[in-house]
Amino acid sequence: MRILSGIQTTGNLHLGNYLGAIKQWVAMQDEMEAQGSECLFFLADLHALTGTVTPQELANSTIEMAATLLAAGIDDRSILFNQSRVPAHAELCWILQGTARMGWLNRMTQWKDKAGKNRDGASVGLFTYPVLQAADILVYRATHVPVGEDQKQHLELTRDVATKFNQDFGVELFPLPEPLISKAAPRIMSLRDGGAKMSKSDPSDLSRINLIDSDDTIVAKLRKAKTDAEPLPESFDALAERAEARNLVTIYAALSDRSPQSVVEEFAGQGFGAFKPALADLAVSVLGPIRERLVQLLNDRTAVGAELAKGAAKAQALAAPTLKAAQQAVGLQV
Ligand code: TYM
């Protein structure tokens, strides 16, 4: 069993990333330690290049995100690194570009969403993004990939790439990785629009809680979060048509490690005038200590960079034999 996951380095991490991914990563790290094994977690800085990031933003966000992961509890028991420091990702990606098919990539919803109508103007990297993601996973022969729902399609593509490569070259090099989509890892939606996921790219900062936000900002954003005038029902299922209300209950449940049903039972009959302050208190108590560690780490960026370099050396050593086997399988003389 090998566990690996990645996150894009674009802007600050938010509550959606924390509850949807990082919290699971930390839990996974504990679980794997108990089994005498280690997880690989990386910052997808090469993937970030497919968007419109400035050099300064990329450099800063790589260190800031590494600091955030360390602040959230990822430590020496895991291998933490940035993708570009391990050239095996890009090298395997090029080989797998020969395996992936245009039709597969054309079907990717992320590509369709991000490219929009102007496909001719989109970067080639945005189109081949999932092939690099496949390489990220396959270069370590990872078996399990903890991700949110939105990455499921990229995981399916990774399996397709692995299957075709193994078949085309008559090898059993790549295991088929499974997405690990934890029930405790909900899809967190925007605070302004219950139909859109909480995202770094939303132009409204009020739509998300960033992990760097101060206690006051967290409280203010939750106070301004969109809701409705109805009280909370007795059953979570009754919130199906009330996207914003459902999202706030989901956030409360995830922050407190409880089921959404037990949360609505506690607040049944109460309106958001009562629920929002309770949610704000809870959010501040969970996120406040993470932010404090983060602020400390951001004061020592060199040390954070050194952690990434240490992780990259370990990752490169793990990736090297698989890359070599893939190169040999396709006939490259390296
Ligand atoms: P990224 O950077 O968009 O998101 C990182 C992780 O956070 C989850 N996530 C969310 N979960 C719940 N609610 C939300 N609002 C929310 N927003 C984000 C994502 O599902 C993801 O698990 N392509 C990947 C990065 C990547 C990767 C990989 C992941 C590159 N290579 C290899 C796994 C394995 C991405 O853009 O994630």
Report if residue 103 sits inside a domain. Answer: yes
Q: Per the domain annotation, does 169 fall within a domain?
A: yes
Q: Which residues contact 149 (CB under 8 A, 6 or more apart)?
A: 181, 187
Is 310 a known active-site residue? no
Domain range spanning residue 210?
A: 205-296
DSSP string computed for 87-141: THHHHHHHHHHTTS-HHHHHT-HHHHHHHTT-GGGS-HHHHHHHHHHHHHHHTTT
Q: Which residues line ligand 1 at a C-beta cut-off of 6 Å?
A: 5-8, 16-17, 20-21, 44, 47, 133, 136-137, 145, 147-148, 150-151, 154, 187-188, 197-198
Q: Kindly state whether residues 8 and 55 are assigned to the same domain.
A: yes
Residues 169 and 50 in one domain: yes
**Whether residues 14 and 88 fall in one domain:** yes
- Answer yes or no: is 193 within a domain: no
Q: Do residues 32 and 148 share a domain?
A: yes
Mean pLDDT of 230-245: 96
pLDDT (0 to 100) of residue 158: 98
Predicted pLDDT at 201: 83
Token readout for 220 is 């203010």
Amino acid at residue number 257: D
Are 264 and 304 contained in the same domain? no
Residue 136 domain-assigned (yes or no): yes
Q: What is the mean pLDDT of residues 127-154?
A: 95
Packed helices 260-267 and 272-298: angle between N→C axes, nearest 10 degrees = 130
- For a ligand 1 pocket test, name from 46, 151, 210 the mutation site with the most ligand atoms within 8 angstroms of its C-beta: 151
Q: How many CA atoms lie within 13 A of 226 on its CB side?
A: 15
Q: What is the CATH number of the domain that holds 225?
A: 1.10.240.10
Measured CA to CA, the distance from residue 164 to residue 185 in angstroms comes to 31
Does the annotation mark 200 as catalytic? yes
Q: Is residue 231 part of a domain?
A: yes
CATH (domain of 171): 3.40.50.620
* CA-proximal residue: ligand 1, atom 22 (nearest): 147
> In terms of domains, do 261 and 168 share one?
no
* Terminal Cα-to-Cα distance of the chain (whole angstroms): 29
Q: Does the pLDDT of residue 175 top 90, yes or no? A: yes
What is residue 145's predicted lDDT score, i.e. its pLDDT? 95
Decide if pLDDT at 183 tops 80.
no
Asked, for residue 272, whether it belongs to a domain, the answer is yes
Helix (H, G, I), strand (E, B) or coil at 179: strand
- Distance CA(188)–CA(247), nearest Å, equals 7
324 is catalytic: no
Any domain includes 192? no
Same-domain pairing of 48 and 181:
yes
Same domain, 151 and 273: no
pLDDT of residue 321: 98
Does one domain contain both 171 and 245?
Answer: no
User: Do 212 and 274 fall within a single domain?
Assistant: yes
Give the model's pLDDT for residue 304. Answer: 96
Q: How far apart are CA 292 and CA 287, in angstroms?
A: 9
Note whether residue 197 is domain-resident.
no
CA pseudo-torsion sign 248, 252, 255, 259: negative
Which has the closest alpha carbon to 176: 129, 152, 141, 208?
141
CA atoms within 13 A on the CB side of 136: 30
Judgement on whether residues 135 and 230 belong to the same structural domain of the protein:
no
145 CA from centroid of ligand 1 (Å): 11
Rounded to 5 degrees, what are φ and ψ at 8? -75, 145
From 23, 112, 114, 183, the catalytic residue: 114
What is the average pLDDT score of the chain?
A: 95
Do 258 and 157 belong to one domain? no
Counting the structural domains of the chain, the total is: 2
Q: List the residue whose alpha carbon is closest to atom 34 of ligand 1.
A: 5
Nearest CA to ligand 1 atom 26: 6
